Structure 1
Amino acid sequence: MVLSQMDAGKALTAAAAKGNPEEVQRILEELRVHPDTLNEFGRTALQVMMMGNAKIAGLLLEKGADPNVQDKHGIAPAHDAARTGFLDTLQVLVEHGASVNLPDQNGALPIHIAIREGHRDVVEFLAPQSDLKHATVSGQTAVDVARASCVPHMMDALFAHVHS
């Protein structure tokens, strides 16, 4: 069965979004679909995958998916994993070359997003690798976001990594 590029992208992204690693693997290997094939919305499987499924992330990345692909808002998979709090997925992304210092269109790094969302374990993982002096478009560094979050443990999570 030969799929058109669009159908192949649609099938792969649908399997990734549903969190079906067996189907993702089948499409990648048997149908030989490139992991960065776009769906009808111009998104890759890594961009739409179920973020809590590190296995799918690993499959896509091992087959050559771009871990730093950004959508029209500058959001990369690392931003999504930080927002949703899936540390295991974020670790797989970083192991495969995802940058934790890639800003979205608002200048936010994944650590800014993880702080805002209150994901302490993600913040602790990102802090040593993140540019903590990087400011968003509105001028906020990670420390500023942590202070504004009013989540007491966020400053603690960052404190060990902030070098004034």
Structure 2
Amino acid sequence: MVLRQMDAGKCLTAAAATGNTREVQRMMEEGRVHPDTTNEYGRVMMMGNPKVASLLLQKGANPNVQDKYGIAPAHDAARTGFVDTLQVLVEHGASVNVADKNGALPIHIAIREGHRDVVAFLAPRSDLKHVNTSGQTAVDVARASRVPDMVDLLFAHVHS
């Protein structure tokens, strides 16, 4: 049985969001659902579970696919603090230097959300001189966030 694309995206998103690797695998094999299928909101899969992310990537998901807002899986993982998923994404070729429509890199989002472990993972891999559409670098976002030690964490990774 082949699901309509919208229904397939909704079902795949639900299975992935709950970490149901068995259902994700079944849908891709039996339902012939592509791992980059979008849900009813036009969003690509948020890979919040490293096992599901790995499975989807092994089945051909594009680690750099962006939705209409320019949000890639790395942005979603950074926003929600899923450092394990970010590691899987990077291992499968995800760029942490892809900007969304606001010019934000995943590190900008992780800083804003206060996810220190994600920032520590992203900092040595990110273009810390990249500016978002507001003209802010990662360090500027860290200063504005007033999260204790966030600026120090970034300065430990800034290379002149």
Same fold at TM > 0.5? yes
Q: Quote the residue 1:155 is aligned against.
A: 151
Q: Quote the residue 1:36 is aligned against.
A: 36
Q: Quote the residue 1:15 is aligned against.
A: 15
Whole-Å Cα distance in 2 between the matches of residues 70 and 7 of structure 1?
Answer: 20
Cα distance per residue 1:34-62 (max 9 Å; x no partner): 21223333333x23x5x2x1111111111
Map 1:1-164 onto structure 2 (within 5 A).
1-44=1-44, 46-47=45-46, 49=47, 51=48, 53-164=49-160
Task: Supply the AA of the counterpart residue of 2:84.
Answer: D
CA RMSD of aligned residues (A): 1.6
SS of residue matched to 2:149: helix
Task: Supply the AA of the counterpart residue of 2:115.
Answer: H
Whole-Å Cα distance in 1 between the matches of residues 124 and 89 of structure 2?
Answer: 16
**By how many angstroms is 1:19 displaced?**
2.4
Whole-Å Cα distance in 2 between the matches of residues 111 and 11 of structure 1?
Answer: 30
- Counting matched residue pairs gives 160
Question: 1:120·1:153 contact (CA, 8 Å) conserved in 2?
Answer: no
Whole-Å Cα distance in 2 between the matches of residues 32 and 23 of structure 1?
Answer: 12
SS of residue matched to 1:136: coil
**By how many angstroms is 1:76 displaced?**
0.9
SS of residue matched to 1:98: coil
**By how many angstroms is 1:128 displaced?**
0.7
Q: Which moved more, 1:22-31 or 1:83-92?
A: 22-31
| Structure 2: gaps spanning 5 or more residues | none
Percent identical: 79
SS of residue matched to 1:83: helix
Whole-Å Cα distance in 1 between the matches of residues 155 and 121 of structure 2?
Answer: 13
| Structure 1: gaps spanning 5 or more residues | none
Whole-Å Cα distance in 1 between the matches of residues 3 and 144 of structure 2?
Answer: 50
State the TM-score, normalized to the length of structure 2. Answer: 0.91
State the TM-score, normalized to the length of structure 1. Answer: 0.89
Task: Supply the AA of the counterpart residue of 1:98.
Answer: A
Whole-Å Cα distance in 2 between the matches of residues 144 and 2 of structure 1?
Answer: 48
